[in-house]
Structure 1
Amino acid sequence: MRGRIIVLKHNTPQEPSTLDRLKEAIRCKRPGLLRRGVVLQNDNATPHSANLTQQWLQRYGWEILRHPAHSPDLAPSDFHLFGPLKHHLGGMASETEDDLISELRNWFDNLDVDFFRVGINSLLSCWQKCIDLHGDYVEK
């Protein structure tokens, strides 16, 4: 499964167009990933479990890595991404939304591949803690 997990986390309705854009981005950036199969982690929010979303996932054969509800500690974006991002943006004053977007793009563009690899790999130990605690909240 290594190298196949994609974490999807957002709070708006997950329409096929969102997944279509994700699929296209994967096709462009990691074409082999689509052939090997995608494992999608989501937080089981209502938009992620909607019939429309499930039909799309079945049509393309994407596997779902089930995620206990209300467990942000199992989402790499929460335990690995937001801390460093908050540190990077700390004290920064943006004049406009465009300035902030530009700074975010710059930060993401300059992250080393290992940053993401470490985040995904650390997911394994977080999941093991969740299993050991029988699905209970995993503390850092």
Structure 2
Amino acid sequence: MNGQYYELPQAREAVVQKRRGKLSRGVLFLQDNASVHTARVSRQVLKDTGFSEIDHPPYSPDLAPSDYFLFSNLKKELRGRRFVDDNRMKMAVESHFDCKEKEYFWAV
């Protein structure tokens, strides 16, 4: 995939077909910082469609600890376990975090 293949005109047409009137109110478009999204050609296509782009932060300090610490440890603990229903799974997650000391959540 490269910037020349970026399919925003098709996305714009889909908005026109599926969300009538939405274009007149404006479309906010969120994408990550992948090179195909930041290429000059891609940015021009985005501008031509009339979409407004919401910049994706390169690093979000409020998400990094949970992405790289809390959830990875939770996944390790739950790996291989099977749950008969959602409530049992929720109980296991709550149990995982309830038994942690307050300092556990400060680890980065």
Q: TM-score normalized by structure 2?
A: 0.50
Larger radius of gyration: 2
Q: Is this contact kept in 2: 1:26–1:34, CA < 8 A?
A: yes
1:29 to 15, 18, 29: 18
- Show the counterpart of 1:53: 42
Give the 3-state SS of the residue equivalent to 1:31 in structure 2: coil
What is the CA–CA distance in structure 2 between the aligned matches of 1:13 and 1:65, rounded to whole Å? 20
Which of structure 1's runs of 4+ aligned residues deviate more than 4 A? none
For residue 15 of structure 1, report the CA deviation from its aligned partner. 3.6
State the Cα RMSD in Å: 2.5
Change (3 A) 1:65 1:28: same
Residue segments in structure 1 that go unaligned for 5+ positions in a row: 1-11, 72-129
Give the 3-state SS of the residue equivalent to 2:21 in structure 1: helix
Residues 1-140 of structure 1: matches in 2 within 5 Å? 12-15=1-4, 18-69=7-58, 130=60, 133=61, 137=64, 139=66
Moved more, 52-61 or 42-51: 52-61
Q: Is this contact kept in 1: 2:12–2:49, CA < 8 A?
A: no
What is the CA–CA distance in structure 2 between the aligned matches of 1:49 and 1:42, rounded to whole Å? 9
Change (3 A) 1:22 1:49: same
Change (3 A) 1:66 1:17: closer
For residue 60 of structure 1, report the CA deviation from its aligned partner. 2.8
Q: Output one character per residue of 1:59-118: Cα deviation in whole Å (capped at 9) or x when no partner.
A: 23311111123x7xxxxxxxxxxxxxxxxxxxxxxxxxxxxxxxxxxxxxxxxxxxxxxx
Q: Is this contact kept in 2: 1:16–1:52, CA < 8 A?
A: no
Change (3 A) 1:17 1:42: closer
What is the CA–CA distance in structure 2 between the aligned matches of 1:138 and 1:36, rounded to whole Å? 36
What is the CA–CA distance in structure 2 between the aligned matches of 1:39 and 1:31, rounded to whole Å? 15
